[in-house]
Amino acid sequence: MELRPGVIAEREASGPHMEPSASCPAPALSAGKTFRVLVGVTGSVAALKLPLLVSRLLDIPGLEVAVVTTERAKHFYSPQDIPVTLYSDADEWEMWKCRSDPVLHIDLRRWADLMLVAPLDANTLGKVASGICDNLLTCIIRAWDCSKPLLFCPAMNTAMWEHPVTAQQVGLLKAFGYIEIPCVSKVLVCGDQGLGAMAEVATIVDRVKEALSQRGALQQS
């Protein structure tokens, strides 16, 4: 991936590229094009699925992927299992020392053609709906170019999902032009059963492909 000189040069992918699945040919990006997806991950237990989600996105030929994580999300996955560049809050502050230095949340916002926040926990949902931007991920979202797709996957306990404020906040995000990938009903890790679980990885990847197709980026192989 390329950002402004000096922003990315020192960052290496944290693991090997995972091989595409052999089930059926994946749609390919239009000839000569790459498409850049920035995945945001927040502190829901559904962050456990981040390695699988990234590997499935990398199954799409020609797709470039990077990940932005909140600090709490780090509790649920190992960086060694993420085969792409992984950014967190410390990177923004370590890169910026004086006025001429890059501003990471702006450079990542420029770099990405599509943003996918999966999972979007209740805390970050509330922040984004209110315009709060107190970490790298929420700063990117606050600065997002709304002419480009932003997809979000809510994930939280059923009681939190059913609280009246949740529908209001999701409605605000959709009013901003962001695209909801709805949560599903299942037995949650806490033992409760009901709506609130993040959509399945296959569903999320299909919605990303759909967004790419709508932008004319995908061609069928």
For position 30, what pLDDT does the model report? 57
Q: Looking at residue 33, what DSSP letter applies?
A: -
pLDDT in tens, 143-175: 999 999 999 999 999 999 999 999 999 999 999
Report the pLDDT value the prediction gives residue 29, as an integer from 0 to 100: 60
Residue 17 lies in a domain: no
- Cα separation, 130 vs 119, whole angstroms: 18
Find, among 44, 66, 82, the residue nearest to 190 by Cα.
Answer: 44
Domain contains 93: yes
For 128, the 3-state DSSP assignment is helix
Token readout for 210 is 């759909």
Q: State yes or no: pLDDT of 93 exceeds 90.
A: no
The whole domain housing 130 covers 31-219
Q: With respect to residue 13, please indicate whether it lies within any of the assigned structural domains.
A: no
Rg over CA atoms, the chain: 17
As a whole number of angstroms, the distance between CA 143 and CA 58 comes to 26
167 within domain boundaries = yes
Is 2 within the bounds of a domain? no
Of the candidate ranges 12-26, 154-168, 206-220, the one whose mean pLDDT is the lowest: 12-26
What are the beta bridge partners of residue 117?
40, 152
CA distance linking residue 95 with residue 5, whole number of Å:
12
pLDDT digit string, tens, across residues 44-61: 999 999 999 999 999 999
CATH value at residue 58: 3.40.50.1950
Residue 112 tokens, joined: 């990405």
DSSP 157-221: -HHHHHSHHHHHHHHHHHHTT-EE---EEEE-TTS-EEEEEPPPHHHHHHHHHHHHHHTT-EE--
Gap between the Cα atoms of 179 and 132, Å rounded? 19
3-class state of residue 107 by DSSP: helix
- pLDDT value for 11: 52
* Residue 14 covered by a domain: no
Residue 190 lies in a domain: yes
Handedness of CA 130, 149, 39, 184 (dihedral sign): positive
Q: Catalytic positions, please?
A: 190
Q: Which of 46-60, 88-102, 110-124 has the lowest mean pLDDT?
A: 88-102
Number of domains in the chain: 1
In a domain, 165, yes or no: yes
The whole-number pLDDT of residue 13 equals: 39
